[in-house]
Amino acid sequence: MRDEVDDLVDAWGRERADLDLGPVEVFSRISRLSRLLDLARRTAFSDHAIESWEFDVLAALRRAGGSYELSPGKLIKETLVTSGTMTNRVDRLAARGFVERLPDPNDRRGVLVKLTPEGRSAVDGAFEALVDAEREILTDLSARDRKQLASLLRSLMSPFSQT
C-alpha cells in the first residue's frame, strides 16, 4: 500500500539519488501523523469546550491524584511551558472555574493550584473522548502491532527523554 510519502521519497530519489532517504520515509510519516493526531485531539477537546493547552494543565492536575493539586513549578515541569505562560494559563483556568489557587501549607509565600470539581469533569470528559478517538485511529492495528509500535516509538524517543 503506497502513500503520499512514497511519492515524496520517489521524487527526492530522482533528484538526490546520492542521499539515503530512509530517515525521510520515517520522519515524514511521523510529521504527517502528528498533524492528523493534533487535529483529532483538538476535535475531541472542542466537543468538551476546552482547548489543548487547557487539557494539558488540567490533565497534569488530574494525574496528580489525591487532592489534585500541584505547585506552579511542578505544573511548569509537567507541561513544558515558561513561568509567565503558566501564570496566564492558571489565571484563565481559574476564571473558568476549573482551578483554584490555595496557599501552600509548606511555603508561606507559595501557592498550590487545585483542580475544582468542574475542572475534573471537563478533563475527564475530554480524556474519554481523546481515548475513544485514539482507539478509533488504531482500529486497523492488531494488539501485537500496537505493542510493537509503542515499543519502537519508545526507542525512538529515548535519546530525547534522557536530556
Residues 42 and 55 in one domain: no
**pLDDT (0 to 100) of residue 162:** 61
**What does residue 64 show for φ and ψ, rounded to 5 degrees?**
-65, -20
Q: Which domain holds residue 19?
A: 1-46
Same domain, yes or no: 55 and 41: no
- The Cα–Cα gap between 10 and 45 comes to 37
Question: What gap in Å lies between CA 70 and CA 98, rounded to an integer?
Answer: 14
Q: Is residue 33 part of a domain?
A: yes
**Residues 115-161: pLDDT tens digits?**
999 999 999 999 999 999 999 999 999 999 999 999 999 999 998 88
Tell me the angle at which helices 22-46 and 52-63 cross, rounded to the nearest 10 degrees.
Answer: 80
Q: Is the pLDDT of residue 55 over 90?
A: yes
Interatomic CA distance for residues 121 and 115, integer angstroms? 10
Q: CA-to-CA distance for 156 and 154, rounded, in angstroms?
A: 5
81 shares a domain with 56: yes
3-state secondary structure of 105: coil
User: Based on the domain organization, do 22 and 62 belong to the same domain?
Assistant: no
Q: What is the pTM of this model?
A: 0.84
Distance CA 96, CA 79 (A): 19
* Sheet with 99-104: strands ordered across: 69-70, 107-115, 99-104
Give CA torsion, residues 21, 23, 25, 27, to 10 deg: -140
Same domain, 33 and 59: no
Number of domain units in the chain: 2
Q: What is the CATH number of the domain that holds 85?
A: 1.10.10.10
65: three-class secondary structure by DSSP: coil
- What letter does residue 18 receive in the DSSP assignment? T
Say if residue 60 is in the same domain as residue 112: yes
Shared domain for 6 and 58, answered yes or no, is: no
Query: Is the domain of 4 the same as that of 68?
Result: no
Same-domain check for residues 31 and 60: no
In a domain, 57, yes or no: yes
Tell whether the model's pLDDT for residue 112 goes beyond 80: yes
Q: Are 122 and 49 in contact (CB under 8 A)?
A: yes
55 and 34 fall within a common domain: no
Residue 86 falls within a domain, yes or no?
yes
